[in-house]
Each structure stands twice: as structure tokens, then as C-alpha cells.
Structure 1
Amino acid sequence: MACSDGDSGTPLVVRRDSAGVQVVEAMRPLWGDSSLWRIDPDPVVDLTLSGTGPAHEFYSARSMKQRSDGSLVIADGSSRQVRVFSATGEFQASFGGEGDGPGEFRSLRRVENAGDTLLALGGGRVTVVAPDLTVVRTFGVDRFTTDVHYLDGGAILPELNRPVLPQDGLTGLVWRPEPLILFDLQGTLIDSIGETRGHEVYVSGEGGFRTAAPLFGRASRIAALGPRILRGSSEMMQVEELDMSGNLLRILRIPDYPLDLSDARIAAERDSILDGIPPGHFFRGVLEETPASRTRPAFVDILVDPSGAVWLELYRGESEQDQSQEWLVLEADGTWLGTVGIPDRFTVSDINMDAVLGVWEDELDVEHPQVLRLTRE
């Protein structure tokens, strides 16, 4: 079945069923060349400027969420603190600090909402925190867990990025799968429900064991959509929707999305990376031999907003950082809306219906956790 908006002979979306899996192919963007959603670069809230003192100073602030009461939560990697602010930016409370005790962190990577409960990830441990910030429990996960996702129904899905080690005996271009494993809020293993493609890495066996990220290397990402899991490997503009048993339910795809790379673009990318490495450095040799993909990754991150719309952060190489950052948006039904531009030097952490949360770095590299207004037309 094809769906058209009547403005073109090309349908917006083609839907079909394949062995019980719904395949949704978006053929063209609804918005055309102009985005109908805009992000205002002037912040509604800036936590660096909304108060004074150490609570409003940030470094390695990696993750920011908004709770159901409107308060803002941010994980500050330097202080190992989870800090809570009012919706208007006043500091309210914090927990954490460096250490191995309950509620402490050797490293702090992410915060995640689990209903009214808060999850904090760091150092291979998940800390479960009550709404009043009382630490309920801490349980261990794989130490190479980079993110945690909460699924409606009470399940936690860690996202892994494990390194390739000498004892693995692997060389060349390696794309090793990562498992999808569910835990409950008690920290009890529920089940292993499948895997992702993992992250590409180049392993050189010449002159000892060395690894590097391949040029335009691809990586898998996951996100949560209610009780469903979204999985994408970035080798094409496609996201798969799974249930909590790992069954494939739906595929959202943009066929023939342009990802080809020219020889000139590949050469510019290699030169840009090598420019930052001094001659004779051992790492320079492995980068010079690292292969490049002939296609660019389709995206580098997946987020889902409260409407069920899927946001895909478009890939930019090291030599493309002067280009504007953009996110491609698919509506919940798979319709390709278009792209939304992100202000320069802003890293998105979460997307709500009328706001985008993240961290902006000023010209002095000072971090500003901000809430930006999102307008949908």
C-alpha cells in the first residue's frame, strides 16, 4: 500500500508485509527542502548561567533529562555528581561523588528516567534512585556499557561497546556483534533477546596489537520506544523495531538514501585525522593503513520523542565538522518528515515535544547545559 500527499506522483510512504514484519519505506521527505520544525538557539534555560557556585559549573556533562515534574537532571562526569535543577534552572539537590560506595561513581556516563525512578550509569554499575533521590540499590552490568535504556514494563536494556583485545585473536576490519540483554529494576537478568552489529574497528597486527576507528566506520545504536526497542546499524538509513522478546515487528527504511563517498572526500577525511597526529607517532602508522568505507554511516545516534517520532543524527566526519549538524526525523508511522538543524557546538541529549536538551560549548570550551525551544508547525 502506498500513501501520497497528492502533491507528487511519488508516494510519501510504501507499506508492505514481509513474513509477518511490517516494512515501511519512506520515498521522499514530506517537508521537501525546508524544515517545518525549528530549534531556537537562544536557550530557555542555561544551567551555567541560572545560578552561581560549583553546582552550576560543568565538565564532561554527558547526559541530561527532564523528569515528569519538569525538573532537570544532569550527569556531570568530572565531579561524578548527578545534579537536579528546577524547570527554571535553580539548583535543588545532588548525589554521587567519586568512590565505590552506594550512590558513588568511579565514572559517570548517563542518567535515564524509569517512570518516576532515576537510573544513573557509571563504572559498570547502574544506580537506582527514588524520586526523592534516595539510593534504592546498585547492581553491576558489563563494564563496557555506554548507555542504559528503560522500557515500559520495568526492563532495563544496557548498550555495549566492548573493545577488541589481543586475546580475541582478531585482525583487520572487525565488526563484532554486541548482545541485547534485559534486566529488571532489581538488577536481575531477565533474558538475552538478540544482538546488534556492534561498532567497526580496525585491528593492526603489524608491529604489535593496535586498533583504530576506520574512516567512516559504522556503528550500531539502540533506543527505547515504550515497550519496544529500536535498533539500527547505520550501514543504511534503516531502523528495526523489536519487542521485548527480540522479535522483529517493523522496519522503517529510506531506500536509496545517498551514502556514497568520493575518493576526494575519503582523502580529505584521512588528511584531517592525520593532521592532528605528529610525525613518527606510533598511532600515525595504523591510521595510514586503516581502510575507509566506500559509504558513509547513515547516522550516529537514535532518539525517540514522546510522540514516537524517531530522530536520527546524521553523520559528520572529522573533515566535515564545519557543516551544520542535522537530525533526520521519521514520524511514528514511518513518514519521512525531513531534517532539523541543530545550533553549532550543541550536543543533543534528549528531545521532548517542545524542547531539546543538551550541552552547548562556548568559544572558551565552557560547558552550558541548556534547554532549547523546539517549534513544530
Structure 2
Amino acid sequence: MRFRSGFQEPWLQGHMVRFDMDAGVVDTVASYDWVPSSPREGPRHPFGAGGLLTVAQGKFVYLRSDRPEVVWRNSDRTTHQIVRWRPAPAYPDAEDWRLYEASLRAQLRPANPHIQSDEDFDEFMSSVLADLEMAPDEPLPLVSEIFADREGRIWLGDWTADAALNGVSQFSILADDGRWLGEVQIPERVRILDVAGGRALGVFRDELGVERVVLYELLSAESEDDA
């Protein structure tokens, strides 16, 4: 969170880069809004927006999580297509903060092995949380993650405060031509790694933090009713 205050521009730019493996040539196709700036002093909003990027069938697919807009960019720098929608805004509440704090605590504990005692870690967490302040009047981001499956479909993971730790439980699916295909429900505490051939590969994290690889078959609602 702290490095966001180290630049003057409203957004730190990311880059869409095409790398020719044979020729060893790197070509920057486009830049995009990646990370927003935050104030140097004072608390920071923990649920800020960000730029999300994936690649689908040779095209860059980008969105900014505070804008209901997905953009497909060709590798020749031209825009292939844009999809927009009109979501109802949602605002953070106490449950979002609880999930975020639990997720942050679970991530920071193994990342700081030099902090041995529970008392010292609680003090460390208090200092981290003191630098954050929820903005109840600022709409939540729309999307937590984006990825493309082997068929070129775009998976947009609904925003959730603990997505970084426990994954996303609901995805909206777009076809490669931008058509909305429907939604997919994912079991809780599963992070999806890849989707191909009607199956989803992921990592399940149990209550003790132990992870294991899981493979799910994707079924339609009609198939579930018939089963």
C-alpha cells in the first residue's frame, strides 16, 4: 500500500507487452491504469480500484475495477472491441472490513516469520490497520480478478474483500465476442488456476490454511437439477 504514494500521477501505468520468443524482441503495445495513487499522509482506503489484465487468444483484455468496461486490444495496438454494462453500486460495510482484516492477518503472519509471539504480531497488525480507513461513501470495486480460459472466454470474478486469500466464489463469463454467457458458482476458499475442457483446476484452502489441488467439472444449473 505504501508505494502508491511515491508518484505524482493519478495512476501508475502498467504496460501490455508482446514478446517475440524467436526474435527476442519486446514490443510495448499499450499502457493502462494499473495502480492509483494515494495520499502521502493519513489513512488509506483499503478497497481501492486497480487495473486488471489478461490475455485471450492473442489479445490483451483489460479492465479497471471501478469501471464497468472490458476492452480487448490487438497486438498491433488497435482496439478489437469494448463491452460495457450498468451495475448497481455497492458500498463497504462492517462485514467487508471483517473479511479484509481476517484475510490480511492470514497473509501477513507467514510473510513476517521474524515476528514470533502473538503479542508482537497483534501489535504489528494494529500498526498496519492504523494506516487504513474504510470509506463508506466510496463504491466498492466491481471485479476482484480476470482471466481467460482455453476457449477464449473471459472470467470476471465478483469483488470480495478476502479474494486475495480465499478466492472468488462467483464469476461472470463473457464469450470471446463479448456476449454475456452467464455466471459460475465456485465453492468457498477455492482459487481457480485454469479452466479447460469443461473442468476447472484450482487450489482449496481449508480452515487451518492447508492447501490442496482440486479439479471440478463445470455443470449447468439444468444438469445439477437432473443429477
TM-score category, normalised to shorter length: 0.7 to 0.9
The letter for the 1-side match of 2:186 is I
**Equivalent residue, structure 2, for 1:111:** none
Q: Equivalents in 1 of 2:199, 2:171: separation in Å? A: 14
Answer whether contact 1:201 1:217 (CA < 8 A) is retained: no
Greater RCO structure (CA 8 Å; 6+ sep): 1
SS of the counterpart of 1:334? coil
Match of 2:128 in 1: 283
Consecutive unaligned residues in structure 1, runs of 5 or more: 1-161
Kindly provide the amino acid, as one letter, of the partner of residue 132 in structure 2. L
State the 1:269 CA deviation. Answer: 3.6
Q: Which of 305, 308, 329 matches 2:173? A: 329
Identify the residue that residue 193 of structure 1 maps to in structure 2: 29
Structure 2 gaps, min length 5: 106-120
Cα displacement string for residues 71-128 of structure 1 (whole angstroms, at most 9, x for unaligned residues) = xxxxxxxxxxxxxxxxxxxxxxxxxxxxxxxxxxxxxxxxxxxxxxxxxxxxxxxxxx
Instruction: Write the mapping of 1:200-219 to structure 2, written as runs, cut at 5 A.
Output: 200=36, 202-205=38-41, 214-219=45-50
2:118 corresponds in structure 1 to none
User: Aligned partners of 1:300, 1:198: CA distance in 2, in Å?
Assistant: 13
Select which of 85, 89, 94 maps to 1:259.
89
Change (3 A) 1:189 1:337: same
Written as runs of structure 1 = structure 2, the 5 A alignment for 1:232-243 is: 232-243=63-74
Q: Is the contact between residue 96 and residue 160 of structure 2 (CA under 8 Å) also seen in structure 1?
A: no
SS at match of 1:218: coil
State the number of aligned residues. 202
TM-score between both structures, scaled by the size of structure 1: 0.46
Q: 1:272 to 1:228 in 2, by over 3 A?
A: closer
| CA RMSD across the alignment | 3.4
Contact 1:197/1:220 (<8 A) preserved? yes
Structure 2 SS opposite 1:164: helix
Quote the Cα distance in structure 2 between the aligned partners of 1:272 and 1:325.
Answer: 14
Mapped to 2, the partners of 1:356 and 1:332 lie a distance apart of 18
Shift of 1:186: 5.0
1:5 — aligned with what?
A: none
Q: Secondary structure at the match of 2:3?
A: coil
Moved over 4 A (4+): 270-280, 290-293, 321-324
Indicate the SS of the match to 2:34.
coil
Q: What is the identity percentage for the equivalent residue pairs of Structure 1 and Structure 2?
A: 19
1:302 paired residue number? 146
Distance 1:298 1:306, change over 3 A: same
Distance 1:274 1:375 in 2: 33
Q: Hey, what's the Cα distance between the residues in 1 that align with 2:211 and 2:37?
A: 30
The structure carrying a bigger strand percent of its residues is 1
Kept in 1, the 8 Å contact 2:66–2:141? The answer is yes
For residue 18 of structure 2, the aligned residue among 182, 185, 188 is 182
Closer/same/farther in 2, CA of residues 271 and 250 from structure 1, 3 Å limit: same
Deviations 1:314-353 (A, max 9, x none): 101249x999710011223322222111011110111113
CA drift at 1:313: 0.6
Q: In the alignment, which residue of structure 2 is the partner of 1:354? A: 198
Q: Whose helix proportion is higher, 1 or 2?
A: 2
Query: How many Å separate the matches in 2 of 1:332 and 1:165?
Result: 33
Alpha-carbon distance in 2 for matches of 1:323, 1:244: 30
Structure 1 CA distance for aligned equivalents of residues 145 and 101 of structure 2: 25
Secondary structure at the aligned position of 1:286 is classed as coil
Give the letter aligned to residue 154 of structure 2.
V
The answer to whether the 8 Å contact 1:204/1:286 transfers is: no
Question: 1:312: how far off?
Answer: 0.5
- Shift of residue 227, structure 1, vs aligned partner: 1.8
Whether the aligned pair in 2 keeps the contact of 1:197 and 1:219 (CA below 8 Å) is: yes
Q: Is the contact between residue 166 and residue 191 of structure 2 (CA under 8 Å) also seen in structure 1?
A: no
| Larger Rg, first or second structure (1 or 2) | 1
* CA pair 374-322 structure 1, distance change in 2 beyond 3 A: closer
CA distance in 1, matches of 2:189, 2:150: 25
Contact 2:166/2:205, CA 8 A, preserved across alignment: no
Match of 2:3 in 1: 164
How much has 1:357 moved relative to structure 2?
0.7
